[in-house]
Chains A and B, each alone.
Chain A
């Protein structure tokens, strides 16, 4: 299989952002992850480097043998990569912090378009991921279901008739499936309705969390809604339930936006959006966090056609380019860390000025 090169990935857009709106402006992307382990091997945390290397090998072979899967997969070995390149994979949502924390016997197999990938030896032997932009939970499930079926013809999974797919942590047991949808919820954050949403999600056994870092912030008003329970319901039933919940959240976000834009808060809101655009266009120094928050407001203004001369393409491009590792990859290697906020501001400024709009 071909060794992957981070610089090649950087040339194409990430899989989870699309310039076209797939089913509305609120749902940004949909993702399904399946946890799978190989029968007869200890789970990654209990296995030694040699056993983990064997597992990396086996998964790679399965991809090679299955002719339908082989052709466009790339292999990345994070332990052999620079820290900066590892971070790029993280920012593109291809690997997790847990995978990067293990310093031997891990791998990432990903299709060139990044829409389907496998982390090998994260918490489980395989974490298969399929990601698409927009609200496409059912489609994403169908793709990963077929892929998993194919792969299971070449790998013997650890499976129990009572407990289903056996996973390192019993919180993933059964289907081993985690579906998540990334939502842009500036309306619910501005109106305060988000607090109630988080509470009610917990009751329904679905989790809400920020998409960055370890679930402790709401930078950019982006939230991830995912199922918590994996045992006792079929994948289709879980997907259907999540689908219904997302539909409700999207509707309530849309209503809240409508209310904010037409109610007495209108000018307060337009002011925030206008200032956000002004800062993005003219600031000389900006952190990733601040830029994300303003970008969120800019996106909101665009959804309401209040901001007209910026394209979705530009916003998506900035959204990924402002991340620290992506930014550093676009700069000379000797750029000091202290200059990053300055470089970020000038990158954003330049992209907003580009006339691709």
Chain B
């Protein structure tokens, strides 16, 4: 859904105004316009005490919708990623569109529409579509964190490097509270890197 105000960006904030228990109108805004409108639109300044109902964006659902649309809002203009971002009907030559997963038999169109995959194998079959979706809904492209007990741990060196950098910035800025938090965090992350497995072993 496009922003009602600029008609350009994706609307992420939906506000329903309610008066006398009756829905009067819905305003859909992007974050940028919402920030500009602050203090002008009734929902942001009137103390309507329960009269206002915020249609809170269900972030997860919105992200799923973004995925379903192939992440095309975000990815336009970045080189090399345009092919799978276009609508399939405009792009009949794209071989990916005729793909069907050999295991679950779900096809490209179904996956693009539902934003859901049918099985593990779909991750290989529709790799490009998924990679583009990941770039638009996730903060990173590689898993860092825990792993099943019988598999090697993922590499979290990059994350540790990032927090060390933030720590030295925090110290430079004399933000000691943040620095202490980061030290605690690093203490937890560094041993995680050497964790070779946890929990009960596979029988």
Contact = CB atoms under 8 A, between A and B. Distances in A.
A189 B43 CA distance: 10
Interface string A202-243: 110111111000111110000100101111111111001000
A199 B13 contact: yes
A164 B31 contact: no
Interface stretch (B1-9, B77-85, B90-98, B112-120): B112-120
A66 interface: yes
A146 B57 contact: no
Given A171-B60, A173-B138, A198-B54, A232 B144 contact: yes
Contacts of B104: 42-43, 46
A191 B47 contact: yes
Interface in B108-165: 115-120, 123, 130, 133-134, 137-152, 154, 156, 159, 163
A233 B156 CA distance: 9
Contacts of A145: 146
B190 to A, nearest CB: 11
B203 A154 contact: yes
Contact of B149 (A152, A164, A229): A152
Given A171-B60, A198-B13, A231-B140, A166 B123 contact: yes
Contacts of A43: 104, 116-119
Interface residues of B, number: 71
Interface stretch (A74-82, A155-163, A307-315): A155-163
Interface in B186-203: 188-189, 192, 198-203
Contact of B143 (A164, A169, A226, A293): A164
A231 to B, nearest CB: 4
Contacts of A342: none
A217 B53 contact: yes
A149 B198 contact: yes
Contacts of A149: 149, 198-200
B49 interface: yes
Given A37-B120, A195-B43, A232-B138, 18 more contacts: A43-B104, A45-B118, A123-B116, A160-B143, A164-B143, A171-B63, A171-B67, A174-B140, A192-B44, A192-B45, A195-B44, A198-B54, A199-B34, A202-B59, A208-B56, A216-B53, A234-B192, A240-B185
Interface of A: 37, 39, 41-43, 45-46, 65-66, 123, 145-146, 148-150, 152-154, 156-166, 168-171, 173-175, 177-178, 189-192, 194-196, 198-199, 202-203, 205-210, 214-218, 223, 226, 228-237, 240, 244, 272, 293
27 contacts: A149-B149, A159-B147, A159-B151, A160-B120, A160-B143, A162-B142, A164-B143, A170-B133, A170-B134, A170-B137, A173-B134, A173-B138, A174-B138, A190-B47, A195-B44, A202-B31, A207-B57, A207-B58, A208-B59, A209-B58, A216-B56, A218-B53, A226-B60, A231-B139, A231-B140, A232-B142, A234-B159
